[in-house]
Every structure is written in C-alpha cells, then in structure tokens.
C-alpha cells in the first residue's frame, strides 16, 4: 500500500499538544482487514476496563466484527443495533459509561501507585456500532466517551468522521483508522478538511494512556 506522507515537525508537535490523537493503520489487502483488527484488539484488549468503540458503515460489517471478536476472552463485545428496544439501548450505553468511569479510576490508581488487586472481572469493553446507531444528542443522549475509537470502515465524509468523534470519543482519546489501498486519498481529504493530523500508528500506541 502507498504510504502516507510523513508528518512535518510542526505536525508532530500538533499531535503531542492535542488531547485527542488520530492515527492510521495501513492494511495491505482488504481480505486482511479483519485479521488486522483482531490483532489490534489483541493488544488493546489486555488493558483492564479499557473502553473501546468500533464503528462500521453497514450492519453486515458490524455482525462480522462481533463474530470475529467474540472469541477474544478478555474483551466484552456488545453490538449496538438500530432495532434495539429503547430500554435495551439505554442499558447498553449506561453500562458502557460505567466502564469508562472504572477505566478512569484504574488509570488514576496506577498513576498514584494505589492500584488494588480486585477480584472483580476487569475485561476490556467494546461497543460495535454503525453510524445509524451512534448516540443522538438531539434525543438527549450523552456521548459515551470511549478511550479508543476504531474506524473499521473509514468514513467518506468529514461530517461522519466528526460525528463519530464527538459521540464516541473521550477528550483525551485515540482514533485508529484502518486504511486499505485506495482509501489513502479519502484519509488525506478528511485530515485536511478537518484540520487534523493523522499519523501512522506507533507500535506502542496503547502505552499512551
């Protein structure tokens, strides 16, 4: 796959100063995309309580992602379907917000050296959603503030990319875009039109928390 142009020194400085960080992960071929996602989650999911959201463009892709990730024992996966009853949807979103609070407490405890050896289940938690299922501010829903947002399917429009960020990502969160061959131009357009810096994902991306 064609590599994206390396960010300038000024762009690199912008990444370090911005609370939210945006990266891309190149995938050689479309058939390797799911395998790449599973490998990525294999690294991310071992962080206790890590709240993650994976965004897809279609219901078929949502189902495929859930099926592929369901065998990872240390990640709780929850699909957010458009046809869920209102009560079920509210329960899923409330539970995920609880996870984000546990994650923040865990990070604070590690930083202070007061980490407790809890026996409580500490799996990472992941919501998989299509754009039609994201939290709706107009309906009074609050953002879910995940620490990691993975764009399994790269949006073609800046507005969709922005909506995913504002409804799903914490102020200091990380966005990882899976990019296949021909999507390089789309990613560059989103980067430029949104005034973002989207750098190549470093190996130690999950050590940034």
Q: Where are the beta strands (DSSP E) in 58-201?
A: 75-80, 124-130, 146-151, 169-180, 198-200
What digits encode the pLDDT tens for the residues 66-110? 999 998 989 999 999 989 999 999 999 999 998 998 888 877 776
What superfamily in CATH does domain 20-110+122-203 come from?
P-loop containing nucleotide triphosphate hydrolases (3.40.50.300)
Give the integer Cα–Cα distance in Å for 42 and 150: 13
- Side-by-side strand order, sheet with 51-56: 75-80, 124-130, 51-56, 146-151, 169-180, 21-27, 198-200
List the chain domain ranges: 20-110+122-203
Give pLDDT, residue 116.
53
Partner residues linked to 77 by β-bridges: 126
Give the integer Cα–Cα distance in Å for 21 and 173: 7
Supply the DSSP symbol for 135: -
pTM of the model: 0.85
Give pLDDT, residue 104.
84
Give the integer Cα–Cα distance in Å for 186 and 182: 8
């Amino acid at each position: 796959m064609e590599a994206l142009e390396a960010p300038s020194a000024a762009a690199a400085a912008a990444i370090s100063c911005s609370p939210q960080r945006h990266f891309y992960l190149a995938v050689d071929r479309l058939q390797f995309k799911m395998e790449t996602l599973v490998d990525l989650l294999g690294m991310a999911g071992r962080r206790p309580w890590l709240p993650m959201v994976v965004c897809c463009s279609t219901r078929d892709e949502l189902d495929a992602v859930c099926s592929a990730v369901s065998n990872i024992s240390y990640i709780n996966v929850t699909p957010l379907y458009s046809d869920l009853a209102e009560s079920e949807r509210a329960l899923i979103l409330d539970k995920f917000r609880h996870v984000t609070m546990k994650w923040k407490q865990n990070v604070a405890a590690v930083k202070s050296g007061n980490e407790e050896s809890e026996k409580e289940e500490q799996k990472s938690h992941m919501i998989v959603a299509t754009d039609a299922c994201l939290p709706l501010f107009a309906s009074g829903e609050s953002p879910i503030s995940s620490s990691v947002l993975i764009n399994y399917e790269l949006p073609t429009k800046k507005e969709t990319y922005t909506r995913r960020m504002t409804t799903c990502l914490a102020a200091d969160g990380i966005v990882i875009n899976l990019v296949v061959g021909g999507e390089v131009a789309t990613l560059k357009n989103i980067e430029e039109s949104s005034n973002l810096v989207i750098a190549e994902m470093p190996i130690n991306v999950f050590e940034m928390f």
